[in-house]
Amino acid sequence: MPQVEMDKVEPLLEQYEDQRLNLIPILQDVQETYRYLPELVLRRISKKLRVPLTEVYQVATFYRCFSLVPRGKHVIQVCLGTACHVRGAPRVLDRILRDLKLPHAGTTEDLQFTVETVRCIGCCGLAPVARVDNTNTHPHLTQAKVGGLLKKYQEKAEAPKAAKPDEASHAKA
Amino acid sequence: MPTLKINGIEVEVEKGMTVLEAARFLGIPIPTLCHEDALQPYGACRLCLVEVSNGRKTTLQASCCLPADDGLVVFTHSARVERARKLLLEMYVATCPSSKRIQDMASAMGLRECRYEAKHETCIQCGLCVRMCEQQMMAGAIGFSGRGVNRSVTRPFDMTSELCRQCGACLFICPVCESRCQGPQAESTLCNGCLNISTVCFQSYDNAMCFLEPCHACEIGGPFRADVGVKPRSKDLTHIVGK
């Protein structure tokens, strides 16, 4: 088990009342802070909220926005819904995976990227589409555009204290 | 006190009762897999569904979760209900062919064939063990994880929970854990083993005798029920029965 900085949890837990209904908001905050849900943290939450660990685990494994293994700095969600599929999303996904040297959807070894497939993100007019970090939607993707898209976030990851990514900025081909 | 009509019988029930409880109070048997009186209703198995009419149209609803409200008109064994239950049971049999309780129920319901491929799962996700552990044993050592096809009963992080006292209540209540008859047709998807045998089970299979209790297959289509019309296929089974 990797070392977990537990000191980040306590201030986070203090923002909420110890009530069952706060479980999901807390888990969301933890997911944002650690980029995954560490086991020790889940145990702490279970104790603090007096919710059985099984229930915490049940919620943590139910929703796809939670992960029990570390996720990358940037989460790339490639839409494989019907419209995107028809317009070539599988090829885009293949290209992303090849560029990141991933055998299948998952997290790169340097924890920079996590590639996920999603069913539909509700903008079929922009197909094929991928969304990065839940905010930046990249429309009309082609294999040729993938390199630029990845480079943009790779550079951002390397630059120290990079500015916040622009909302809905489009990758240049 | 709400008054409702079950199969044409006016019945007055206590407030807060469910339709399932009301029907059982009347002595109408409704099959269930996920219901247990001591646990909260769950509505997972859907076998308890009944036809509920509200004037113009009727709907199928799970009676274990349906409050017995005033003026409800309920049919527990209409053709539509029976058909739906049979289909459900057929799928349950295909999921867990080795479960005694499911096979019993299928026999009792007169299920004669299973059109689906046997999956041989070990769980039907009725949630009985999880609820038992949480509500009666006050432990909460096991729970569901994942969702959809990946949903399963597990312990958190797949480690033995310190909350588990190994009381065995989960095993006791599990409808699937109990194995079915290990007689001549133990491998078949649908246990109708005794259906085609010309002699009573235990005369032919001393130790491997059928443990269905009562053996529904025998009762329904066994050799002593000529009126059902199932002819014993004795010549096909000579290698098992002998002679």
CATH value at residue B148: 3.30.70.20
Q: Tell me, what's the pLDDT at B145?
A: 92
CATH value at residue A79: 3.40.30.10
Task: Examine the domain organization and report whether B194 and B115 are in the same domain.
Answer: yes
Task: Examine the domain organization and report whether A50 and A96 are in the same domain.
Answer: no
Q: Which of B157, B159, B161, B170 to mutate to test the interface with A (most CBs of A within 10 A)?
A: B157
Cβ–Cβ < 8 Å for A65, A77: no
Task: Examine the domain organization and report whether B44 and B101 are in the same domain.
Answer: no
Average pLDDT over residues A159-170: 48
Domain span holding position B228: 82-120+179-241
Task: Examine the domain organization and report whether B215 and B116 are in the same domain.
Answer: yes
> Does residue A1 form part of some domain?
no
> Does residue A165 form part of some domain?
no
Q: Tell me, what's the pLDDT at B109?
A: 79
Q: Which structure tokens are listed for B160?
A: 């033995």
Measured between beta carbons, the chain B residues lying within 8 angstroms of A52 are 134, 140, 143, 163
Any chain A CB within 8 A of the CB of B141? yes
Task: Examine the domain organization and report whether B87 and B190 are in the same domain.
Answer: yes
Average pLDDT over residues A102-126: 89
Task: Examine the domain organization and report whether B196 and B108 are in the same domain.
Answer: yes
Choose the final residue of a domain: A41, A62, A83. Answer: A62
Find residue B4's DSSP bridge partners: B11
Q: Tell me, what's the pLDDT at B178?
A: 83
pLDDT digits (tens, 9 = 90+) for B60-114: 999 999 999 888 899 988 889 989 999 999 999 999 988 888 888 887 777 778 8
CB contact under 8 A, B147 and A39: no
CB contact under 8 A, A56 and B147: no
> Does residue A170 form part of some domain?
no
Task: Examine the domain organization and report whether B71 and B107 are in the same domain.
Answer: no
**Amino acid (one-letter) located at A74:** H
pLDDT digits (tens, 9 = 90+) for B26-71: 888 899 999 999 999 999 999 999 999 877 888 999 999 999 988 8
Task: Examine the domain organization and report whether B108 and B163 are in the same domain.
Answer: no
CATH value at residue B11: 3.10.20.740
Q: Tell me, what's the pLDDT at A159?
A: 57
Rounded percentage of chain A residues whose pLDDT exceeds 90:
40
Q: Tell me, what's the pLDDT at B144?
A: 93
At residue B142 the predicted structure's pLDDT band, cuts being 50, 70 and 90, is very high
Chain B residue with CA closest to A59: the answer is B145
Q: How do strand B9-12 and strand B3-6 relate by DSSP bridges? A: antiparallel
Q: Tell me, what's the pLDDT at B173?
A: 93
DSSP letter, residue B8: T
Q: Tell me, what's the pLDDT at B45?
A: 92
Q: Tell me, what's the pLDDT at B223?
A: 44
Task: Examine the domain organization and report whether B91 and B133 are in the same domain.
Answer: no
Task: Examine the domain organization and report whether B104 and B153 are in the same domain.
Answer: no
pLDDT digits (tens, 9 = 90+) for B188-234: 788 765 554 444 454 544 444 444 445 555 555 444 444 444 444 44
Q: Tell me, what's the pLDDT at A4?
A: 67
Contacts A–B by Cβ distance under 8 A: 36
Asked whether the bond before B214 is cis by omega within 30 degrees of 0, the reply is yes
Task: Examine the domain organization and report whether B13 and B90 are in the same domain.
Answer: no
Which of residues 155 through 194 in chain B touch A, CB cutoff 8 A?
Answer: 155-157, 161, 163
> Does residue A32 form part of some domain?
yes
> Does residue A126 form part of some domain?
yes
What CA–CA distance (Å, rounded) separates A31 from A12?
A: 11
> Does residue A167 form part of some domain?
no
Q: Tell me, what's the pLDDT at B191?
A: 72
What CA–CA distance (Å, rounded) separates A107 from A75?
A: 9
> Does residue A169 form part of some domain?
no
Q: Tell me, what's the pLDDT at B185?
A: 65
Q: Which of A54, A56, A62 sits opposite B147 (nearest CB)?
A: A62
CATH value at residue A52: 1.10.10
Task: Examine the domain organization and report whether A122 and A80 are in the same domain.
Answer: yes
Chain A interface with B: residues with Cβ < 8 Å: 39, 42, 52-58, 61-62
* Full DSSP string of A54-118: HHHHHHHHHSTT--SS---SEEEEEE-SHHHHHTTHHHHHHHHHHHTT-SSSSB-TTSSEEEEEE
Domain span holding position A119: 74-158
Any chain A CB within 8 A of the CB of B147? yes
Any chain A CB within 8 A of the CB of B135? no
CB contact under 8 A, A54 and B141: yes
Q: Tell me, what's the pLDDT at B183?
A: 63
Q: How do strand A113-118 and strand A74-79 relate by DSSP bridges? A: parallel
Number of domains in chain B: 3
Task: Examine the domain organization and report whether B13 and B72 are in the same domain.
Answer: yes
Average pLDDT over residues A48-54: 90
Measured between beta carbons, the chain A residues lying within 8 angstroms of B161 are 53-54
Residue A162 has pLDDT above 50, yes or no: no
Chain B residue with CA closest to A54: the answer is B143
Task: Examine the domain organization and report whether B142 and B215 are in the same domain.
Answer: no
> Does residue A164 form part of some domain?
no
Number of domains in chain A: 2
Q: Tell me, what's the pLDDT at B94?
A: 92
Chain B residue with CA closest to A37: the answer is B157
Task: Examine the domain organization and report whether A37 and A85 are in the same domain.
Answer: no
Average pLDDT over residues B143-162: 89
Residue at token pair 């897999």: B33
Task: Examine the domain organization and report whether A79 and A150 are in the same domain.
Answer: yes
